[in-house]
Amino acid sequence: MSERVPRRRVDGVLLLDKPAGLSSNAALQRAKRLFAAEKAGHTGTLDPLATGLLPIAFGEATKFAQSLLDAPKAYEAVVRFGAETETGDAEGAIVRTMPVPADRAVVAAALPRFLGRQRQTPPRHAALKHRGRAYYDWARAGVEIPRPPREVEIRALDVLDWRAPDLVLAVACSKGTYIRVLAEDLGVAAGSCAHLAALRRTTTGGFRLADAVTLERLEAMTGAERAACLLPVDALVQGMPRIDLPESEAVRFRHGVAVPAPGSAPGRAVVYASGSLLGLADVDEGLARPARLVVPPAPGEPVSS
């Protein structure tokens, strides 16, 4: 039996390039073991079929992961025409076939109708819950359940390549958009049927796949090299309004007390003192009320960040 590696506090953000065949949680657990981290969470699920950008928050960064869960995202998707599957993607059995669209122009002409805000019905095989069970559990049991449509927004759809029966698309969209559903709907709009053959997330929020690292590369690194891959905790809150407090007010803020924030606009802001991140505040009527606080390491506590 291998010796258990002691866990330690690790604070920061890892941009991981998730491989196909792993769930987001499995990829997270592998990264967590490599860093021997006490606490970690990912910032937006990718199906096992999908690859690409999966930011992982370690330690104190997990407190700010919601900003990426809510962030717009972009993908490269391969839509395969002529075959419909039971899951809407390549992991499901084919349930229907139809002729493939004659050419790229037929498919391209159908794209504009999917741009903008719209109501999208989640797929039967989804991780959303109904009465405490995932949609895919109900689907596997052969039980039809209500799947309320959700509002999503598709900001851009660009054809990157067409090699029948496959269309390669660049998709920019809001959180909660199911590219599987887009693929199926596009098939119908083009007078055929389709499913999602491959998916790769290229951006989320302000982060890019080009800056991500694979699990294989991480495994080949030394501990110091892995630590150098981490972005600071405040990478998750860049772009938010900033408040810099004097040290006298910082002490009160750290203890959960609202402090003066003259000239700051109402809303959520990121708070610093002497260049160090203190947390997030809700600003109203000239006061900054603590909303999320960063816990500093205890004296002598080793921290990797």
Task: Phi first, then psi: give them for residue 195, nearest 5 degrees.
Answer: -145, 165
User: Facing residues of 251 across strands?
Assistant: none
| Catalytic, out of 11, 17, 47, 234 | 47
CA 236/CA 13 separation, integer angstroms: 8
User: Facing residues of 116 across strands?
Assistant: 154
CB 121 within 8 A of CB 157: no
Task: Phi first, then psi: give them for residue 64, nearest 5 degrees.
Answer: -115, 15
Neighbour-count burial of 192, counting CB atoms closer than 10 A to its CB (0-12 exposed, 13-18 middle, 19+ buried): buried
Instruction: Give one DSSP letter per residue of 279-298, joined into a string.
Output: EEEEEETTEEEEEEEPPPPP
Based on its alpha-carbon atoms, the radius of gyration of the chain, rounded to whole angstroms, reads: 22
What are the angstrom distances between the C-alpha of 259 and each of 124, 266, 286, 291? 49, 14, 9, 12
User: Facing residues of 290 across strands?
Assistant: 281
The enclosing H or E element of 256 equals: none
| Catalytic residue list contains 70 | no
Residues in the chain: 305
**How far is residue 202 CA from its own chain's centroid?**
10
Three-state DSSP state, 35: helix
C-alpha triplet 300, 304, 305: angle, nearest 5°: 120
| Active site residue ranges | 47
